[in-house]
Amino acid sequence: MSPTDTTASDRCAPCVILVFGATGDLAKRKIFPALAALHQRGFLHRATPVVGVTRRATSEAELLAPLDAAKGGGAAEADALAAFRADVRSLSFDYTAGTLRAFVDAVDALAHERGAGGARAVYFALPADAFEPTAALLVQGGLFTAGSWRRLCFEKPFGHDLASAQALNDRITCHFDEPSIYRIDHYLGKELVRNLLVMRFANPLFGSVWDRHCIDHVQVTLAETLGTEGRAGYYERAGAVRDMLQNHLLQVLALAAMEPPATLDAEAIRDAMVDVVRRLAPVQAGDVVVGQYGPGEVGGHAVPGYRQERGVDPASSTETFVAVRARIDHPRWDGVPFFLRTGKRMGRRLAEANIVFRPLSGGPFAGATTGVGPNVISIRIQPNEGISIEFNVKVPGEDLRIETVAMEHCHHCVYGLNTAEAYEILLHEFLCGDPTLFARWDFVEASWRWVDRITAGARAIAFPNYSAGTSGPAAAEALPGEGRHWIVSRDILS
């Protein structure tokens, strides 16, 4: 069960939740709001306190101030927030002054007071280079007690290439075993991404046509309208390939292309997902297009180019866009290209997968030049979550005119009131110990192995090569080739 359900009968076992990096952007915007929502819905055990861990002394009121700003005006919401607030403590953790013992004692005292026992769930909302040193200190300080579970959730990015990810993983697994490590990719918490499994394997209608015999190609687009939003320091080192392709795009690709898992068990699903990434063929010349945005207009407002953004090197060669033609070495997908693209400052915020079916190969309408379009299944991840299916119909009238129309399932219209944020779902799974929606090490390893070949083959390109507010560089438009083109789903609500 997940927080999408309406009853809270499966609250996770009690523990102390520790959020490191509690003063950071992610903790304020995502982690505390998600924990507050879980608390309000009754999904946190009443004996589970939340500790915000900071470097400098910070009051609970300061930590939770963004929640006040975001809350609605209702009395019920105010009561729920007050109840959550009562369960939150702020503890500072001085990495240099030897306060480790005092910190662990304070956590243990809180656990004792609340009856939380020895279990500890630690969320690392920290810069990646602080992950392992912090984890090692916690072990050294005796935060984890034998016989009680411990779980650690690490934010992305997990490494910046294969070698650094391996080194990080080696250091962390000196202290913790794989089942206690949760590597978060918030795309896996998005409803329509999770729906890919159900769509494909709970519907014979789709499952029976999900292969090279029927599918011409698959597209996944994750387009953002935002620029660096104050995270230029991180983005300059990451770029679109490391920030989006290595994780979010490959997760969606894996769910779209995986073989049916033997069971719905976490390991069976993760086995099937990693198999896809391991089978990705190395990219060939001409399979990758990168870009960087120059000045332009987004949503009617003039915006600066990437190199003009605060904190960005005025001669930066960081890519803010990437499009790739990927191939999966599996009989199911023989000859079927997967086109993946992502970019910042695109004309439209959009995340979707489009499954494009082969053109008619026989029958009376094969070769018809007008009206008959390909069948397309679009899985719209955001905005306006939903699924649409395009097919051909006869236009009313005497003549035989054909037109492509879309049949729409508007997911959020049906379920909108109950859907939880991705972080809420993932935190719940983390606290309950279900790793299905988290990246296992072999997935991370295989994804970096494939992505490293892309970054190693990158050539110097004259940036900027696309204007903010467009759909990316001209070369990316041409990437699908052979009469194919990028598709934007027919979203009847936008």
Ligand X SMILES: NC(=O)c1ccc[n+]([C@@H]2O[C@H](COP(=O)([O-])OP(=O)(O)OC[C@H]3O[C@@H](n4cnc5c(N)ncnc54)[C@H](OP(=O)(O)O)[C@@H]3O)[C@@H](O)[C@H]2O)c1
Q: Which residues are catalytic?
A: 248
Q: Would the CA dihedral through 43, 179, 128, 273 be positive or negative? A: negative
Burial 410-419 (b: 16+ CB within 10 A, else e): bbbeeeeeeb
Q: Which stretch binds ligand X (CB under 6 A): 119-127, 207-215, 305-313, 382-390?
A: 119-127
392 pairs with which residues across the strands? Answer: 404
User: Which of residues 45, 55, 449, 484 is near ligand X by CB under 6 A?
Assistant: 55
Instruction: Say which amino acid occupies 454.
Output: I
- 163 or 226, CB closer to ligand X? 226
- How far is residue 96's CA from residue 103's CA, in Å, rounded to a whole number? 13
Q: Is 21 in the site for ligand X (CB under 6 A)?
A: yes
Least distance to ligand X, CB of residue 55, Å: 4
- 237 or 394, CB closer to ligand X? 237
Task: Report how far apart, in Å, the C-alpha atoms of 56 and of each of 96, 121, 126 are.
Answer: 12, 22, 14
Q: Which stretch binds ligand X (CB under 6 A): 17-25, 310-318, 398-406, 409-417?
A: 17-25
- 130 or 406, CB closer to ligand X? 130
| Selection from 476, 443, 480 nearest residue 280 by Cα | 443
- 26 or 328, CB closer to ligand X? 26
Q: Which stretch binds ligand X (CB under 6 A): 121-129, 276-284, 332-340, 431-439?
A: 121-129
- 95 or 415, CB closer to ligand X? 95
User: Which of residues 125, 326, 351, 479 is near ligand X by CB under 6 A?
Assistant: 125
φ, ψ at 138 (rounded to 5°): -65, -35
User: Which of residues 115, 127, 142, 367 is near ligand X by CB under 6 A?
Assistant: 127
Number of shown-chain residues binding ligand X (CB under 6 A) = 19
User: Which of residues 130, 136, 389, 410 is near ligand X by CB under 6 A?
Assistant: 130
Q: Is 299 in the site for ligand X (CB under 6 A)?
A: no
Least distance to ligand X, CB of residue 337, Å: 29
Footprint on residues 240-259 left by ligand X (CB under 6 A):
none
Q: DSSP letters along 1-12, please?
A: --TTSS--TTPP
Contact pattern for ligand X over residues 338 through 367, marking x by CB under 6 A: ------------------------------
Q: DSSP letters along 66-95, please?
A: HHHHH--S-HHHHHHHHHHHHTEEEEE--T
Least distance to ligand X, CB of residue 46, Å: 27
Q: Is 132 in the site for ligand X (CB under 6 A)?
A: no
Q: Which stretch binds ligand X (CB under 6 A): 82-90, 154-162, 206-214, 253-261?
A: 154-162
- 127 or 282, CB closer to ligand X? 127
- 155 or 275, CB closer to ligand X? 155
- 19 or 119, CB closer to ligand X? 19
Which residue in the shown chain puts its C-beta closest to ligand X?
24
User: Which of residues 25, 79, 170, 178 is near ligand X by CB under 6 A?
Assistant: 25
Give the alpha-carbon dihedral of 277, 281, 282, 283, to 10 degrees. Answer: -100
Task: Report how far apart, in Å, the C-alpha atoms of 346 and of each of 157, 216, 320, 366 are.
Answer: 22, 26, 10, 36
CB 118 within 8 A of CB 81: no
Quote the tokens at residue 269. 């699903």
User: Which of residues 12, 116, 126, 427 is near ligand X by CB under 6 A?
Assistant: 126
Q: Is 232 in the site for ligand X (CB under 6 A)?
A: no
Least distance to ligand X, CB of residue 303, Å: 19
Least distance to ligand X, CB of residue 126, Å: 4
- 139 or 262, CB closer to ligand X? 139
CA angle 23, 2, 199 (to 5 degrees): 115
CB 453 within 8 A of CB 283: yes
Q: Is 234 in the site for ligand X (CB under 6 A)?
A: yes
Quote the tokens at residue 298. 């987004």
- 19 or 377, CB closer to ligand X? 19
Q: Residue 335: left if φ>0, alpha if ψ -120 to 50, beta else—which one?
A: left
Q: Residue 341: left if φ>0, alpha if ψ -120 to 50, beta else—which one?
A: beta
User: Which of residues 87, 132, 155, 185 is near ligand X by CB under 6 A?
Assistant: 155
Q: Is 23 in the site for ligand X (CB under 6 A)?
A: yes
| Selection from 53, 154, 58, 164 nearest residue 103 by Cα | 53
Q: Which stretch binds ligand X (CB under 6 A): 155-163, 317-325, 339-347, 462-470?
A: 155-163
Q: Which stretch binds ligand X (CB under 6 A): 39-47, 126-134, 166-174, 218-226?
A: 126-134
Report how far apart the first and last C-alpha atoms of the chain are (Å, whole number). 31
Place of tokens 């070369």: 475
- How far is residue 15's CA from residue 45's CA, in Å, rounded to a whole number? 8
The residue count of the chain comes to 494
Q: Is 222 in the site for ligand X (CB under 6 A)?
A: no
Q: What is the DSSP code (8-state) at residue 409?
A: E
Task: Report how far apart, in Å, the C-alpha atoms of 243 and of each of 14, 178, 229, 246, 413 are.
Answer: 34, 23, 14, 7, 31
By CB under 6 A, name the binding residues for ligand X.
Answer: 21-27, 55-56, 95, 125-128, 130, 155-157, 234
